Amino acid sequence: MDLQRILYEKLKIHEQLGVRPRSRELYVVSASGRLSVITFPDLRVSREFRIGQTASSLVFSPDGRRAYVSARLVDSVAVIDVAGRNLLEKWRVAAETHGVLTDAAGRLL
């Protein structure tokens, strides 16, 4: 059974997934506006963040210290300190941003 199917059946989560680099944490973005942090292999939700309506994309900084989540209907990108599990800030961005990427050095988003 694949991880996405397990997550859907156990936690009713079926949106975008990302594994935090060098960790046992799975980050799940839901269209309802949540970012859930799930530890594995036990699949326990350890933290949730309210990102904004239609959160749609997730990327980690190359060093794994930050996560960036776009929310297209509220035109923002949330910046998460993943080690401290804090929402640092929300940046206003262009209308209906559907995705986020970083460069290899982590200097550009």
Q: What is the pLDDT of residues 30-78, one digit of tens each?
A: 878 889 999 988 889 999 998 877 788 899 999 889 999 988 888 889 9
What are the φ/ψ torsions at residue 24 (nearest 5 degrees)?
-115, 45
Q: Which residues pair with 55 in a beta bridge?
A: 71
Q: Is the pLDDT of residue 86 over 50?
A: yes
* Predicted local distance difference test score (pLDDT) of residue 7: 61
Q: Is the dihedral of CA 108, 71, 15, 19 positive or negative?
A: positive
Tell me how far apart the alpha carbons of residues 12 and 4 are, in angstroms, rounded to a whole number. 10
Percent of the chain past pLDDT 90, that is, above it, reads 21
| Domains of the chain with CATH codes | 3-92 (2.40.10.480)
Give the three-class secondary structure for 5: helix
Q: What is the pTM of this model?
A: 0.81
Tell me how far apart the alpha carbons of residues 64 and 106 are, in angstroms, rounded to a whole number. 10
Distance of CA 31 to the CA centre of its chain: 11
Q: Is the pLDDT of residue 88 over 90?
A: yes
Q: Are 67 and 20 in contact (CB under 8 A)?
A: yes
